[in-house]
Amino acid sequence: MKTFKGSGVALVTPFQTDGSIDFQALKQLVTLQIKGGTDFLVVQGTTGESPTLSQDEKRKVLDTVLEVNNGQLPIVYGIGGNNTAGLAALFQNLPSGVDGILSVSPYYNKPIQKGIVAHFKQVASFTDLPIILYNVPGRTGSNMSLETTLELAEIHNVVAVKEASGNMEQIMDIIRQRKPGFGVLSGDDNLTMPLIAAGADGVISVVANAFPERFSQMVHASMEGNLALAKEAHYDLFNVTKMFFEEGNPGGVKVALAQRGLMSETMRMPLYPVSEGLRSRIQAETKRLLAGL
């Protein structure tokens, strides 16, 4: 069973100005991640604007990433939703090269904790691939509790949780009480360094799309116990990270990616471009960070 540690990146989906997928830009982004020190790639998380892509488009994005990656980094594919039975079909005929699944806790329906457990037990029965749970109450409307996470960790192919609750006590309790081998990944970029210092295994990052070199340096230094370097990189990225989420994700990170010459800033509605003031601040910070690479 694969394990996922270190600097994971939730890949954005690049679009042409007409809204079609920019596959050439996607290839460039994957190449940047491979060269920049990223440890594993997540395809079609929320950062990839997955709610606005058709199943056919999602598969073409996945196939493109697999082609460019060519087995170099582990690949995690996002399959989640709030219609449990309806997810079964999405696990059929996945291509070879997919190493794991990221599956978000059911959103909008707001199930009780027993419902979340039942949902993931069903999802785990659809595949033999390792599953990373994803707890993000700000998007789903409900928190996956400590007790629920620990119960789900007993399922043989549930191998980790991406924790984006922002609740440091809850996350540290998971780290403290988890069974051996169960991974805890930060879902918040600015909490990554302190969480790894507290025992977390890595991150699934947005910021690393634009700055994989510096972000992976921070993650790896944190994991190696080099807290001086980890803190230096953490605070170097601190302001731009806040900017990236100031007016929603992935609008901010796409500004930096455009500045790196990798893609346009285009997103699909209902997402909307960031304000001019925020764009200018991100561009200035991106220029500073790139000068240090």
134 classed as catalytic: yes
d(CA 205, CA 256): 15
Alpha-carbon gap, residue 138 to 155, rounded angstroms: 25
Annotated catalytic residue within 5, 58, 77, 134: 134
3-state percent helix, strand, coil for the chain, nearest multiple of 5:
50, 15, 35
Token pair belonging to 211 = 């700055």
Inter-residue contact 187 to 163 (CB < 8 Å): yes
Q: Is 160 helix (H, G, I), strand (E, B) or coil?
A: strand
* Residue 202 and residue 186 in contact, taking contact as beta carbons nearer than 8 Å: yes
Element of type H or E holding 55: helix 55-69
Question: Is the distance from CB of 157 to CB of 1 less than 8 angstroms?
Answer: yes
Quote the CA–CA distance of 107 and 212 in Å, as a whole number.
30
Q: Own/partner pairs for 110-117, CB < 8 Å, 24+ apart?
A: 110/140, 110/141, 110/142, 111/142, 113/144, 113/145, 113/147, 113/148, 116/142, 116/144, 116/148, 117/148, 117/151, 117/152
Per-residue DSSP letter, 191: G
DSSP letter string, 113-158: HHHHHHHHHHHHHT-SS-EEEEE-HHHHSS---HHHHHHHTTSTTE
Catalytic residue among 5, 58, 77, 162: 162
Which sequence positions are flagged as catalytic? 134, 162
